[in-house]
Amino acid sequence: MSMDTRIKHSFALTSRYKPHYPQRCGEALDEALYSTQAYDAWRTLDPGRASPVFSRFAALPALTKRELRTRGPQGFVPHDRDIAEGLTAHEIELVATSGATGDQVTNVWYQPWWNASEAASWQLNAHARAVATGAHREAILSSPWCVGFPFEDGYLTMEQRTLGRFLFLSERSDPSSWSSDLMDRMVGELNTFKPIVLEANPSFLARLSRHIVKRRLHVHSPALIVLTYENPSVLHRRQIGRAFDVPIASSYGATEAGYVFMECEAGRLHQVTTTCHVDFLPFAPEHGGPDVGRILVTIFGNPWRSLVRFDIGDVVRLDGHAPCPCGRREGLTLMSVEGRTVNLTVTPEGRAVTQGAVDQALGSVAGLVEYQILQTGSSAYHLRFAAEGAALRPVANDACDALQTVYGPAAVITADPVEAIAPDPPGKYCLSKKLEPIDPDGLLDDQFSPSEL
């Protein structure tokens, strides 16, 4: 390979940052390369401190979940801090992410950094900035296996599900099996607890919202709904909007990396530049690039964790064409998070299709309330769907027509109605998936793809 093809480009050069930002990036990078064991082998690829920091990032590999797992938490603790001592001093905890497919990672959890990252994200949305103080009452509706108190065989009291200023609305992780009584209880608790912020898995809150609308229940309006834990579907947002007449913001991050993007009041997602840097790796044009691509996250200022170019596993769509009406200009701005790489499907011709593209197409199908599309072969797609307030056959026909526009005339699409769709463990909905997963590295524009060790 000639040297020219080895030079990798950085998308960060096209973004605007505050003057001190490149320095923070450089500090995070130097700490990783020179004071953190897990990055020892990366040092030989670093073009050195004399090079611009974004070029230094671009010359490095991506950090995968597999490496987080094999190196273990101690490998990512800088400056020889000792995890055992941190645990004894109650300064940190060890938290395992609840991955379902053998990709569980144990993370060092340092609460002050997490809180700072969350507070920084609030600054990127006018409603959050106005009401989120860090002392506000917050109700949470998500899988109790991700956060809260799981109890699948019985029920817990409201007191048992309350922790300080947080109320966890459900101890049950499968909304498709929630009883009417359980959802009535959630509404009653929202009315007595009166949260300022309601934080929710969009699919979970959508299920509750459909119940509220169907039963015409009165429900307390929080000042803000924050959607997190999974990528919201157009359908979910619409169902939530019918039950709650309040601002909705999507917050994007990961247990490993903290808060990475926050949706502003104008509906775009802004990078949390105070606590992270994001490298954008565009897909090749035939797969939706250069606006669609993957992201790698580097975190700042966590004394217990050095994370550089972490492949967070999601696909995003940039919004680089016009400044956001909210006036925020710093860092990467996204039009949307398009779903995870494991949610990618392909057309019969082999072109990548994001979960977001599928969702946009199905979002206009009247009567469709939940769906899941599985690509079973190179040109075969199977849709499972739930409908409400509409006959099944026209919903199926409209959904198949919408999918045909996405996958093209050669696609063979079948559809089956179901009562409801259950989330995958530990409680996240999968909207689209290919039975044989795609290699996401093969979709990248080679000029930007991460270097190999």
Q: Please report, as ranges, the residues that interact with Zn ion according to CB under 5 A.
A: 264, 266, 268, 324, 326, 328
Task: Give the 3-state secondary structure percentages of the chain, helix then strand then coil, rounded to 5.
Answer: 35, 25, 40
Looking at the Cβ atoms of 268 and 434, the one nearer to Zn ion is: 268
* Max Cα distance, the chain (Å): 67
What does R_g of the chain's alpha carbons equal in angstroms? 22
Q: Smallest gap, in angstroms, from Cβ of residue 330 to Zn ion?
A: 10
Looking at the Cβ atoms of 184 and 330, the one nearer to Zn ion is: 330
Q: Smallest gap, in angstroms, from Cβ of residue 249 to Zn ion?
A: 11
Q: Smallest gap, in angstroms, from Cβ of residue 327 to Zn ion?
A: 7
Looking at the Cβ atoms of 124 and 406, the one nearer to Zn ion is: 124
Q: Smallest gap, in angstroms, from Cβ of residue 139 to Zn ion?
A: 26
Which pair of tokens denotes residue 228?
Answer: 């997190």
Q: Smallest gap, in angstroms, from Cβ of residue 270 to Zn ion?
A: 6
Looking at the Cβ atoms of 211 and 268, the one nearer to Zn ion is: 268
DSSP 426: T
Looking at the Cβ atoms of 24 and 328, the one nearer to Zn ion is: 328
Distances (CA, A) of 331 to 101, 117, 270, 345: 33, 15, 7, 29
452 φ/ψ angles, rounded to the nearest 5 degrees? -110, 145
**Do residues 316 and 336 make contact, with C-beta atoms less than 8 angstroms apart?**
yes
Looking at the Cβ atoms of 326 and 346, the one nearer to Zn ion is: 326
Q: Smallest gap, in angstroms, from Cβ of residue 328 to Zn ion?
A: 5
- Closest by CA position to 189, among listed 150, 234, 141, 117: 141
Cα torsion through 79, 82, 88, 89, rounded to 10: -10
Q: Smallest gap, in angstroms, from Cβ of residue 254 to Zn ion?
A: 21
Looking at the Cβ atoms of 268 and 287, the one nearer to Zn ion is: 268
Distance, first Cα to last Cα, the chain: 14
Looking at the Cβ atoms of 253 and 289, the one nearer to Zn ion is: 253
- Closest by CA position to 13, among listed 57, 68, 44, 45: 57
**Do residues 248 and 266 make contact, with C-beta atoms less than 8 angstroms apart?**
no
Looking at the Cβ atoms of 132 and 383, the one nearer to Zn ion is: 132
For tokens 């409209």, what's the residue?
398
Which pair of tokens denotes residue 450?
Answer: 């991460």
Q: Smallest gap, in angstroms, from Cβ of residue 124 to Zn ion?
A: 8
Q: Smallest gap, in angstroms, from Cβ of residue 396 to Zn ion?
A: 38
Q: What is the DSSP string of 249-315?
A: EEEEEETTTEEEEEE-TTS-EEE-TTTEEEEEEEBPGGGTTTTEEEEEEEE-S-TT----SEEEEEE
Distances (CA, A) of 108 to 70, 146, 155: 15, 16, 31
224 φ/ψ angles, rounded to the nearest 5 degrees? -155, 140
Q: Smallest gap, in angstroms, from Cβ of residue 320 to Zn ion?
A: 13
Type of residue found at 180: S
Q: Smallest gap, in angstroms, from Cβ of residue 129 to Zn ion?
A: 12
Looking at the Cβ atoms of 131 and 324, the one nearer to Zn ion is: 324
DSSP 151: -
CA distance 82 to 304: 9
Looking at the Cβ atoms of 94 and 266, the one nearer to Zn ion is: 266
Q: Smallest gap, in angstroms, from Cβ of residue 133 to Zn ion?
A: 22
Looking at the Cβ atoms of 186 and 249, the one nearer to Zn ion is: 249
**Do residues 448 and 60 make contact, with C-beta atoms less than 8 angstroms apart?**
no
